[in-house]
Amino acid sequence: MAQAGENGIDPAATVVAPTAEAAELQARINALREELMALNERMKAISAALQRPPLSATGES
């Protein structure tokens, strides 16, 4: 088991906690990137749909 140094701080805990937090933050960043890519694709599809000419009442374009 890790022992506290002279100043009462556990060096292993000092490194492990920020490392775990960094890993969690990186995972969240990756998830947000994926969500942004999906949102971008949806926006492109909506934009393309809005640029198409409207269908006539008979269904002809």
Q: Residue written as tokens 């933050």?
A: 25
What is the reported pLDDT for 28?
Answer: 98
Would you place residue 60 in the very low, low, confident or very high pLDDT band (cuts 50, 70, 90)? low
What is the three-state SS of the chain? Answer: CCCCCCCCCCHHHHHHHHHHHHHHHHHHHHHHHHHHHHHHHHHHHHHHHHHCCCCCCCCCC
Residue 44 has which token pair?
């492109």
This prediction has a pTM of 0.61
User: pLDDT (tens digit, 9 = 90+) per residue, 21-53?
Assistant: 999 999 999 999 999 999 999 999 999 999 998
pLDDT in the model for residue 1: 45
Has residue 17 got a pLDDT over 70?
yes
Q: What is the pLDDT of residue 14?
A: 83
- State the Cα–Cα distance between residues 61 and 50, nearest whole angstrom: 14
